[in-house]
């Protein structure tokens, strides 16, 4: 079956602008705010959101970082060779308002791993979650996003959500997976 387009380029660009404005509304003073993209797929989204904030010509920009959760995953020792990405957080998260950014929220396990990994950089005052796509009703852990691009109801084992954030061509598809 052909993939079904969920979000096109224009819609995603509007969501990025909305995310930037929501951050601005909820954090008037961004001095204690930190945006952290989750490796690998949340990093591109987080960079795009950060660029949108830059275009608003704010007096203060939030801290920005990228976090790898490879060694904090609960499936780390299951035989699959996992290659970690680079952590790029050159600030302490101690008492910061941290916004974790990822492309798709599915089971919640990546976010749980990210919260564990985040503590290596300090104890945040608050942790929020920003996702482009929230796959509701697929959660295995009680985790919900604070900033959502779009919420979609998918059949957990039967459908996949694919995000493509290639320069000048942003898209999100849903496609059925093969059974059995």
| pLDDT tens sequence across 11-59 | 999 999 999 999 999 998 899 999 999 998 899 999 999 999 999 988 9
* Under 8 Å between Cβ of 168 and 160: no
* pLDDT band for position 3 (cuts 50, 70, 90): confident
Q: What is the DSSP letter of 163?
A: E
Alpha-carbon distance of 108 to 100, in angstroms, equals: 12
Element containing residue 41 per DSSP (H, E): helix 41-55
For residue 9, how many other CB atoms are within 10 A of its CB? 14
Strands (E), 12-143: 33-38, 63-67, 97-105, 126-136
- Does the structure show a pLDDT above 70 at 82? no
Structural domains of the chain in order of their starting residue, each with its CATH number: 9-156 (3.40.50.2020)
How confident is the model at residue 30, as a pLDDT?
A: 93
Give tens-digit pLDDT for 105-146.
Answer: 999 999 999 999 999 999 999 999 999 999 988 888 999 999
H or E element that contains 109: helix 109-118
pLDDT at residue 14, as a whole number: 97
């Amino acid at each position: 079956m052909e993939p079904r387009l969920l979000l096109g380029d224009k819609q995603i660009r509007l969501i990025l602008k909305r995310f930037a404005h929501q951050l601005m509304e909820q954090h008037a003073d961004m001095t204690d705010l930190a945006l952290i993209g989750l490796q690998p797929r949340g990093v591109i989204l987080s960079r795009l959101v950060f660029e949108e904030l830059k275009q608003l010509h704010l007096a203060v920009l939030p801290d920005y970082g990228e976090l790898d959760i490879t060694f904090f995953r609960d499936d780390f020792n299951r035989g699959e060779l996992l290659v970690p990405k680079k952590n790029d957080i050159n600030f302490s998260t101690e008492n910061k308002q941290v916004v974790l950014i990822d492309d798709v929220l599915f089971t919640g396990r990546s976010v749980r791993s990210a919260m564990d990994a985040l503590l290596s950089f300090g104890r945040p005052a608050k942790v929020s979650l920003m996702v482009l796509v929230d796959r509701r009703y697929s959660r295995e852990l009680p985790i919900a996003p604070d900033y959502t691009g779009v919420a979609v109801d998918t059949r957990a084992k039967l459908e996949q959500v694919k995000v493509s954030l290639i320069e000048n061509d942003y898209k999100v598809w849903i496609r059925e997976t093969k059974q059995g």
